[in-house]
Each structure stands twice: as structure tokens, then as C-alpha cells.
Chains A and B, each alone.
Chain A
Amino acid sequence: MTTMEIEVRDAPPQAARAAAQAKIAVRDFDFYYGAFKALHAITLDVPAQRVTAFIGPSGCGKSTFLRSINRMNDIIPEARAAGSITIDGRDVYGSGTDPVELRRRVGMVFQKSNPFPKSIFENVAYGLRIGGLRNKRQLEATVERSLKRAALWDEVKDRLHGSALALSGGQQQRLCIARALAVDPEILLMDEPASALDPIATSKIEELIYELKDNYTIVIVTHNMQQAARVSDRTAFFMLGKLVEYGDTREIFMNPREKMTEDYVTGRFG
């Protein structure tokens, strides 16, 4: 998985693909920062238990779109959304949706790893504690399970109560993944999770994504085309706030319909 040429795995068999239903359904979604329109009428379906990659040049709106799914953009003043995003049929921007509750179901991993200045244990336990879990044995069990799922347990099991900031960049990012997994979300949003990491740490994160997709619906924003090709089942190509093309990753990379997509994935611009 570390070779630099574009590798594309076999697409999932037809039957399995049919079974993968739309977990996230987006219809005519617009997003504004004040007067600036950052997203134009995005419409796409993200399948359950698959990895979907968003690619595109900087400033194309892919991160904005990702952050719209768990309403992280709410904290930006003068930001405004129109159109609809539904998760399992429930409107993310509906009046009955509590963003705090939503974010417990839709986890997020950021470009820059952001462990809290607490111990490794407390980082992973954070989401559980704010969810009201007090039982020490349950906390310990969930922390261990989450760290194992994030392939970090063996490296930190002897220093769970040491500072999370003493970990390496790659370990910190896996800690952030463990922290997100601990609250057992259905969806995991990843905003360029490996862009600040070296190739070895990156390949660990990619292996992890590959393993996690059996249980989670994963959406990943990436600047790295090889990464999109390696880890994702579906790829969406964004350009200037518009969705240019969306399809099976193999199709997008081997046989794109749009000239713009082809130029981008072959490295002619961007």
C-alpha cells in the first residue's frame, strides 16, 4: 500500500453494492460564508459501511461540505446552509435536530491532530464522560477497546496515564481516531487525517480506515490522489464549490466522464 503509483482495488461485487444503502443523502445543498457561496447545489448519496473520498483542489469546498455533515460549521458566524442533508432519513438541519446529539453519532477526525492536554486515557474517555458514563470498569473497557480498534493499544498500554501530547504525530492522530470511536458513532468524517504525517504513519492510518469500514460509514477528504484511490470505494471530485463527478473510485480514476476530472486525477492541474 506504500507504492506511489495509483492502485485501485477491485470494486465491490454488484450484490454487495446494492446492499450498501445511502447512509447520508444530500440534496441541492448550498452553503454560504456571509455573502460568499462556498457550495453550489451538491447532490450525492454516501453509502453505508463504505469509504467515500472527497477530492479536489484547495478551496474547492470539500472540507466545508464535510463539516456541514456534522454541523461543525455552525460555530462560524454568518455561515448559512440551504438544501438538505439527511442521515438515515433524518434531516441534519431540521428544527428537531440537536447538533450536540448529532455529533455524537457523526464522529470527526481533523487535519491537525488535536489531543486534549490530558492523559491518553482521559482523551479517549472524554466523549464517554460527557455522555454520562461514570462506571470505572466500563470506562476502562471501552478505552481499551477503542485504542485497540485504532491500532494504538500496544504502543500506549503502559502509559495510559501519561500526557497525550508526548505521543508522536502519527500516534496522536490515531489517538484522535480512538477518541472518536469511543463514543461509537455510525459515521466517521476525516478531514485530511494523514496530510501532516510521514509515509509510515500515513500507511498505518490508511490500513486503519480499511479495517474500520466494516463497522462505520467513512467519509474522507484528501489532497492525496493515491490515498483516495487506495482507501476509498467511492470518490467525489469537487471544483469551485461544485460537485463535478461522483462515482466508484475505479471509474473516477480509470475512466472519468468529465474532462476536468481526468485532468485533475492525472495531475495536469491542481
Chain B
Amino acid sequence: MSTTSNARRRKIVSRIFEVLCAAAVLVALLPLALILFYVIKEGFGALNLAFFTQMPKPVGEVGGGMANAIAGTLMLIGLAALFAVPIGCVCGIHLSEYPGTRFSSVVRFAADVLNGVPSIVIGIFAYGIAVLPVKRFSAIAGGVALGLLMIPVVVRTTEELLRLVPSGLREGALALGASRSRAVFTVIVPAALPGILTGILVALARVAGETAPLLFTSFNNRFWSTSLTQPIASLTVQVFTYAISPYDDWHRQAWAGAFLLVVIILALSIIARLAVRRLERMNRP
């Protein structure tokens, strides 16, 4: 009698917690769904060919596009990757190869702290080292700021993924007469490469959506520019500028820009997945 009532009670409790879990999932996903819905609703309609091919029109004139900002964002994340990937990967390799040393724990701690630094502070730092000395906003300064944001993510994913490589592979390489560095670069890193690449692309997608660190590094530019030493437009800053403007047409374009940003980030994630699948063909039967 008491065992059946106990079982019944457990079933009820179990059901309550299932409902609570489902509710938590809904609450977590709801903002994402709403944001996507709203951005697509407002942004997709505002997209047209001019948006991709034309430059911003002067204040008061309707039309024009964000061609310069699209190119600028791609350039900025390219520069960020150029700064962050070599530094981040080398740090990650060091951490996974010498996990127990004092130096490693300092580096690991520093990466975690850097990861927690607000992006606006990173922007101020980049302003200090890359803008003040030359007295000019530049694409390079923007790339440095985004790169600094990327580094900790690349460091930690590289470290984690290298550590997941089975130790048997290392032993196999060493037993064939490979030096330690040889084993790392010919066996361990290639085995972890798909994962590391995903980490890099995910980090890129993250910094592609940053606005604050660009405000006083790459600044903005209403004209077409691909110069590394000149201010450069970016989608995020352009969206910010247009969104706080009083013009309806600019609001419309800001939505279009926001939509395009979401698409770029989605595309980076999809490329990451496809690249992984390609590389993993060798890692899996």
C-alpha cells in the first residue's frame, strides 16, 4: 500500500519537474525566437540590391545602401582573425603541452580574465595602443580590438580540443621516432583541427556582432575605403548610427543591416559545421 503510494508520489514529482524543465527551455528560447522573428520581419523587407551595392546617401536623401559597411565588417573580422588566430593557437598549444607549469596557470587565468573584460574596455585599450600613438582612427585599430576579444576564446578552445586527442596517438608518434614538437604538429594538432577551426569560426561570429570596441577604434566612414590606416565603416556601427537617427529611411536600413549581420553570423556557423564534416571524414570511418 505504502509502496504504491510512494511510487505514485514519485511519478507526480517527476512530472512536475519535467514541466519545469520544459518551461525553462521555453523561457530560454523565447527571446531568441522573438529576436529572429522581429529582425526577419523588419529587415528582410528593407533589403534590396541597392543596399548591397550602393553607398550611404547624404542626410535627407532617401535610398542608398551599406556596401562600404559590408566590406568594412568583412575586413575587420579578417584582421581580427589575423591577429588572434596565431597568438591564440600558439597559446593553446603551449597550455595543452605544458598543463602543469606555473606559467601555464598564469596564462590560463589571464585568458579567462580577458574573456570577462567588457568589450567597451577592450575598445578603450585598443584606442590607447593603436589610435592615440598615430592620432587617427583606423581599420587596424578596429582589428586589434576585435582580435583581443577573440584571443581568449581561441586559446581555450584550442587547449581543450588538443587535450581531447587520445594520448595513444602521441605515444604512437613518439614510438616511431618523432620528436615532441613533430608529434604535436603532425599528429596531435591535425587530429584536433576540425574542432579548433570550429572554435575559431564561432569566435569570429561572436566578434562580428561587436559594436562598442569599434566606436573609437575603426570609428565609421561614410565613403568606400579599404585602407588599413583610415577609419572604416562596419555594419554594427552603421546600424547603431542609423538606429538612433530621426529618419525613417535610416531606421529601415538599420533593420536591413541587423538582418544581414544575423545572416553573416549564421553563415559563419554553417561554414564551421561544413568544414568540420569535411575534415572529419578522415577522423571517422
Q: What sequence of 0s and 1s flags, for each residue 67-100 of chain A, a beta carbon within 8 Å of any chain B beta carbon?
A: 0001010010100000000000000000000001
Does B112 belong to the interface (CB within 8 Å)? no
Contact B171 A114 (CB under 8 A): yes
Asked if B278 CB lies within 8 Å of chain A CBs, one says no
Q: Which of A102-110, A199-207, A208-216, A253-261 contacts B (4 or more CB under 8 A)?
A: A102-110
Please provide the chain B residues from 162 to 178 with a CB less than 8 Å away from any CB of chain A in the complex. 166, 168-178
**B175–A116 CB distance below 8 A:** no
The CA-CA distance from A170 to B196 in the complex, in Å, is: 31
Cα distance A212–B219 in the bound complex, in angstroms: 70
With contacts A116-B187, A130-B182 taken as known, whether A166 is within 8 angstroms of B285 at the C-beta atoms is yes
Contacts of B176 in A (CB 8 A): 103-104, 107, 126-127, 130, 179-180, 183
Q: Please determine whether A163 and B177 come into contact, CB atoms closer than 8 angstroms.
A: no
Contact A110 B282 (CB under 8 A): no
- What's the nearest-Cβ distance from chain A to residue B284, in Å? 6
Question: Are B174 and A114 within 8 A (Cβ)?
Answer: no
Judging by beta carbons under 8 Å apart, are B172 and A114 in contact?
Answer: yes
* A118 on the B face (CB < 8 A): yes
* Chain B contacts for A77, CB-based, 8 A: 100
Residue A270 at the chain B interface, CB threshold 8 Å: no
Name A108's contact: one of B100, B175, B281 (CB within 8 Å). B175
Please give, as numbers and ranges, the residues of chain A lying within 8 Å of B177 by CB-CB distance.
100-101, 103-104, 127, 130-131, 183
* B171, B172, B176, B178, most chain A CB atoms within 10 A: B176
- A117 x B191 contact (CB < 8 A): yes
Indicate if B78 sits at the interface (CB-CB under 8 A): no
CA distance A72 to B171 in the complex (A): 8
Contact with B along A36-65 (1 / 0, CB 8 A): 000000000000000000000000000000
Give the complex CA separation of A104 and B182 in angstroms.
14
B179 to chain A, nearest CB (A): 5
Q: Give the residues in chain A near B283, CB-CB below 8 Å.
A: 117, 163, 165
For A118, the chain B residues whose CB sits under 8 A away are 190, 282
A-B contact count (CB 8 A): 78
Q: Quick check: is A119 within 8 A (CB to CB) of the other chain?
A: yes
Tell me whether A143 is interfacial, beta carbon within 8 Å. no
Residue A112 interfacial (CB < 8 Å): yes
Expressed in whole angstroms, the minimum distance between the Cβ of A219 and any Cβ of chain B is: 13
Find residues 112-167 in chain A having any chain B CB closer than 8 Å to their own CB. Answer: 112, 114-119, 126-127, 129-131, 163, 165-166
The smallest C-beta distance from A112 to any residue of chain B, in angstroms, reads 6
Binding site secondary structure of chain B: helix
Closest to A129 in B: B186
The answer for the CA separation of A225 and B187 in the assembled complex, in Å, is 35
* B78 → chain A closest CB, angstroms: 29
- On whether the beta carbons of B282 and A75 are closer than 8 Å, the reply is no
Closest Cβ of chain A: how far from B164's Cβ, in Å? 12
Q: Which residues of B contact A117 (CB under 8 A)?
A: 169, 190-191, 282-283
Cα distance, A90 to B179, chains bound together (Å): 21
CA distance A84 to B159 in the complex (A): 38
Nearest chain-A residue to B279 (Cβ)? A117
Chain B, Cβ-Cβ closest to A126: B176
- Residues of the A chain whose Cβ atoms lie less than 8 Å from the Cβ of B178: 100, 126-127, 130
B contact residues around A165 at 8 Å (CB): 282-285
Q: How far is the CB of B173 from chain A (nearest CB, A)?
A: 7
- Cβ-closest chain A residue relative to B192: A117
Closest residue of B by beta carbon distance from A106: B175
CB distance from B98 to the nearest CB of A (A): 11
The closest CB in chain B to the CB of A163 belongs to: B282
**Residue A218 CB within 8 A of the other chain:** no
Query: Does A176 have its Cβ within 8 Å of any Cβ on chain B?
Result: yes
**What are the residues of chain B within 8 A of A179 when measuring CB–CB?**
172, 176
> A75's contact among B100, B168, B172, B174, by CB below 8 Å, is which?
B174
Chain A residues near B284: list those with CB within 8 A. Answer: 163, 165
B99-143 interface code vs A (CB 8 A; 1 in, 0 out)? 010000000000000000000000000000000000000000000
- For B176, give the chain A residue with the smallest CB separation: A127
Task: Verify A110–B168 contact, CB threshold 8 A.
Answer: yes
Contacts of B191 in A (CB 8 A): 116-117
The listed residue (A129, A131, A180) touching B175 by CB distance below 8 A is A180
- B168 / chain A contacts, CB cutoff of 8 Å: 110, 112, 114
A132 vs chain B, min Cβ distance (A): 11
Cβ contact within 8 Å between B169 and A114: yes
- The answer to whether A110 and B190 touch across the interface, beta carbons within 8 angstroms, is no
8 closest cross-chain pairs (CB), A and B:
A104-B177, A114-B168, A166-B285, A127-B176, A108-B175, A117-B283, A114-B172, A103-B177
6 residue pairs bridging A and B, Cβ less than 8 Å apart: A101-B177, A116-B173, A117-B190, A126-B186, A166-B285, A183-B176
Given contacts A101-B177, A107-B175, A165-B284, 6 further A-B contacts (CB under 8 A): A75-B174, A100-B179, A126-B178, A130-B178, A130-B182, A179-B172
Residues of B within 8 A of A (CB): 100, 166, 168-179, 182, 186-187, 190-191, 281-285
